[in-house]
């Protein structure tokens, strides 16, 4: 069970036998989303992504410094893509073909972005952006029953994971030239998985189970590790992000009390001892979270609040040792945001706004 705690936690990584020691200076647990440490947060005004109607959650990924790509499902079930440069969006472009899930986008570490989704035949399909041109929507295959989660685990290499027809996970990896056969990972899952590269050649994936626990597994580029059960009480799709140092990965979930929780993999051996003993509570009353690197070892997380003011976008920033606490950015959002690193010390967070139009904000 995720336990609510109101004590200051420190030396988290020492307790997990991490390779490098530093201290987390934790804030007191907060009961609701309250603006905090506003000096830490310097977010832009909201920017329209265009008047095109989109449905469901967006997915965003880093492209190059100051640039990002976001994708969404369009009203006519096509994949819609949009490029962010500095402070403006290029406008939505439709990729021919049909999808039946939210997309998942990832940079491949070589200047390209892959955006994948489930199509109307329950197969994995994807399109690739090379910095200038989008490829046609191409079928990879498989039989999936959820939106995929895709991440790069090494330069030019991508893995995509989704729920399968047996209730477990199925995965396929792109080696820079072609996609491999699908691998089945037996489990009893309920959520869409979330995968993140860990700067050590691995992909770490988290998924919720029927008993609201969180399972995690690791792909080392050729094979998958056994699932580890981190317990907890998750009520949202997880969101994992690599810290870009020492193989570390942060995984976030909404808990049974609607607050934000997270756990950290320290990059060590594949065992529960390499994760925090318990999920740590950051508080709030939130929708599904999305987090991205601002710089090595530092993160920004965005959520849509479900407490007053309802549907406002909030941010919580981690500076490598402590969290800022939730800051109300404003606007009105639907569903879950998606954040991507800009490589400039900031992230761009996009979400579905009023009239089913995308909007974004950059910061902190």
- Encoded tokens for 72: 């969404």
Where does the pLDDT of residue 181 fall: very low under 50, low under 70, confident under 90, or very high at 90 and above?
very high
CA distance 92 to 52: 7
Higher per-residue pLDDT: 4 or 338: 338
Whole-Å CA distances, 238 to 28, 172, 250, 361: 23, 20, 10, 22
Share of the chain above pLDDT 70, in %: 88
Residue 287 inside a domain? The answer is: yes
Share of the chain above pLDDT 90, in %: 81
CA distance 277 to 71: 35
Residue 273 inside a domain? The answer is: yes
Exposure string over 27-60, b if 16+ CB within 10 A, otherwise e: bebbeebeebbeebbebeebbebbebbbbbbbbb
Where does the pLDDT of residue 234 fall: very low under 50, low under 70, confident under 90, or very high at 90 and above?
confident
Mean pLDDT on 258-267: 96
Mean pLDDT on 47-58: 96
Cβ neighbours of residue 39 closer than 8 Å, sequence gap 6 or more: none
Residue 72 inside a domain? The answer is: yes
- Encoded tokens for 113: 């972005």
CA distance 289 to 315: 10
CB 129 within 8 A of CB 84: no
Mean pLDDT on 208-215: 92
- Encoded tokens for 241: 């992000």
Residue 4 inside a domain? The answer is: no
Beta bridge partners of 84: 68, 89
CATH of the domain at 340: 2.120.10.70
Q: What is the pLDDT of residue 308?
A: 66
pLDDT over threshold 70, residue 123: yes
pLDDT over threshold 90, residue 201: yes
The domain containing residue 276 runs over which residues?
A: 24-363
Residue 245 inside a domain? The answer is: yes
CA distance 55 to 124: 19
Query: Which DSSP state fits 177?
Result: S
What is the domain count for the chain?
A: 1
CB 148 within 8 A of CB 118: yes
Q: What is the pLDDT of residue 39?
A: 33
What predicted TM-score, i.e. pTM, was given to this entire model? 0.87
How remote is the C-alpha of 93 from its chain's centroid? 23
Residue 37 inside a domain? The answer is: yes
Residue 3 inside a domain? The answer is: no
14 membership: H or E segment, kind and range: helix 12-15
Q: What is the pLDDT of residue 357?
A: 96
Q: What is the mean pLDDT of the chain?
A: 89
Residue 8 inside a domain? The answer is: no
Where does the pLDDT of residue 95 fall: very low under 50, low under 70, confident under 90, or very high at 90 and above?
very high
Q: Is 265 buried (19+), middle (13-18) or exposed (0-12) by CB count in 10 A?
A: buried
Where does the pLDDT of residue 25 fall: very low under 50, low under 70, confident under 90, or very high at 90 and above?
very low
Mean pLDDT on 199-219: 95
Q: What is the pLDDT of residue 309?
A: 64
Condensed to tens digits (0 to 9), the pLDDT of residues 145-168 reads: 999 999 999 999 999 999 999 999
CB 43 within 8 A of CB 359: no
Question: DSSP letters of 308-348?
Answer: SSTT-EEEEEE-SS-B---EEEES--EEEEEEEE-SSS-EE
Least confident piece of the model among 7-21, 73-87, 133-147, 211-225: 7-21
């Amino acid at each position: 069970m995720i336990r609510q705690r109101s004590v200051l936690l420190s030396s988290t990584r020492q307790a997990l036998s991490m390779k490098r020691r530093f201290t987390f200076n934790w804030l007191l647990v907060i009961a609701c989303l309250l603006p905090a440490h506003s000096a830490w947060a310097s977010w832009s005004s909201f920017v329209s992504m265009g008047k095109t109607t989109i449905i469901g959650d967006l997915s965003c990924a880093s492209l190059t410094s100051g640039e990002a790509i976001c994708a969404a499902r369009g009203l006519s079930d096509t994949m819609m893509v949009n490029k962010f440069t500095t402070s403006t969006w290029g406008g939505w472009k439709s990729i021919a073909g049909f999808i039946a899930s939210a997309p998942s986008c990832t940079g491949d570490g070589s200047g390209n972005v892959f955006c994948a989704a489930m199509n109307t035949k329950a197969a994995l399909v994807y399109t690739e952006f090379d910095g200038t041109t989008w490829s046609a929507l191409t079928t990879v295959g498989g039989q999936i029953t959820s939106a995929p989660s895709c991440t790069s685990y090494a330069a030019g290499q991508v893995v995509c994971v989704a729920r399968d027809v047996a209730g477990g996970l199925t995965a396929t990896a792109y080696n820079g030239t072609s996609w491999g056969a699908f691998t089945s990972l037996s489990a009893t899952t309920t959520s869409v998985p979330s995968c993140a590269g860990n700067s050590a050649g691995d992909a770490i994936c988290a998924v919720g189970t029927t008993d609201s626990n969180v399972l995690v597994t690791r792909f080392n580029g050729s094979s998958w590790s056994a699932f580890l059960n981190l317990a907890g009480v998750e009520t949202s799709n997880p969101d994992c992000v690599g810290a870009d140092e020492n193989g570390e990965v942060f995984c976030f979930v909404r808990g049974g009390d609607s607050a934000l929780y997270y756990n950290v993999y320290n990059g060590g051996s594949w065992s529960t001892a390499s994760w925090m003993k318990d999920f740590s509570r950051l508080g709030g009353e939130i929708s599904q979270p999305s987090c991205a690197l601002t710089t090595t070892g530092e993160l920004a997380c965005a959520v849509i609040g479900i407490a007053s003011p309802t549907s406002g976008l909030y941010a919580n920033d981690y500076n490598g040792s402590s969290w800022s606490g939730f800051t109300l950015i404003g606007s009105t959002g639907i569903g879950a945001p998606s954040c991507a690193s800009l490589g400039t010390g900031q992230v761009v967070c996009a979400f579905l706004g009023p009239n089913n139009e995308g909007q974004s904000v950059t910061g902190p």
